C-alpha cells in the first residue's frame, strides 16, 4: 500500500458523494484504474455505505424541539386567549428552520402538537362534545385543524424570515 493509497482511502467517502473538486476526482480515477487494492476498497466502501445517507436518528436536540413545540402548544395558544403566540410561533419557526433547514419539519413541529392539543383539550369540554356524534367529532377535527393551521402560518412566516436571513 503506497502513500497514494492512504490518500485515496481517506477521500473515498467524498468521492462517493461527489463532494470533491474535478482535479481530485481525476486523481482518484487515475489511481483506481491502476491499483487493484484501492479498487476493491472502493467497491466495498461504496457498497457498504450506500444506505448510510438514508438513515435518520433521533437526537437529543430533536427531542428538545419536539418538547418545545408541545410546550408552545400548551402555553401560548390562540385558544388560551394569549396574543403572544404570534410572536412565539414566528420565533419558534425561525429557530426550527435555522436548526433543521427543512420547511417540512417546521410545518410538522408547529402543526401536529397544536392539532393534538386542540383535540385533547376540546374532547373533554362538554361545550364541544355532548353526544359523540359523527358531526361533533368531525367539527372537532376541523376546528383543531384550523387552529393548527393558524399557528403553523406564523411558524412558516418565522421560517421565511430565517430563509431570508440565511441568504445574507
- The answer to whether the pTM exceeds 0.85 is no
At 142, phi and psi to the nearest 5? Answer: -65, -45
| pLDDT, tens only, 142-161 | 888 988 888 889 889 989 99
Indicate the helix (H) or strand (E) that contains 145. Answer: helix 134-167
| pLDDT, tens only, 83-131 | 676 777 788 888 888 887 888 888 888 888 888 888 887 777 776 666 7
CB within 8 Å of 124: residues ≥ 6 apart: none
Which sign does the torsion angle of CA 106, 73, 118, 81 carry?
Answer: negative
- Nearest Cα to Cα of residue 119 among 85, 73, 153, 165: 73
Amino acid at each position: 500500500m503506497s502513500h497514494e493509497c492512504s490518500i485515496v482511502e481517506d477521500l473515498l467517502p467524498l468521492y462517493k458523494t461527489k463532494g470533491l473538486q474535478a482535479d481530485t476526482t481525476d486523481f482518484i480515477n487515475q489511481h483506481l484504474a491502476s491499483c487493484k487494492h484501492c479498487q476493491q476498497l472502493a467497491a466495498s466502501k461504496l457498497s457498504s455505505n450506500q444506505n448510510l445517507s438514508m438513515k435518520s436518528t433521533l437526537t437529543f436536540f430533536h427531542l428538545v424541539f419536539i418538547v418545545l413545540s408541545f410546550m408552545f402548544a400548551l402555553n401560548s395558544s390562540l385558544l388560551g386567549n394569549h396574543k403572544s403566540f404570534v410572536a412565539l410561533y414566528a420565533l419558534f419557526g425561525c429557530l426550527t428552520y435555522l436548526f433543521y433547514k427543512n420547511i417540512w419539519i417546521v410545518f410538522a413541529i408547529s402543526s401536529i402538537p397544536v392539532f393534538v392539543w386542540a383535540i385533547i383539550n376540546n374532547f373533554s369540554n362538554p361545550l364541544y362534545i355532548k353526544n359523540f356524534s359523527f358531526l361533533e367529532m368531525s367539527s372537532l377535527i376541523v376546528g383543531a385543524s384550523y387552529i393548527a393551521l393558524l399557528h403553523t402560518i406564523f411558524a412558516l412566516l418565522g421560517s421565511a424570515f430565517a430563509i431570508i436571513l440565511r441568504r445574507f
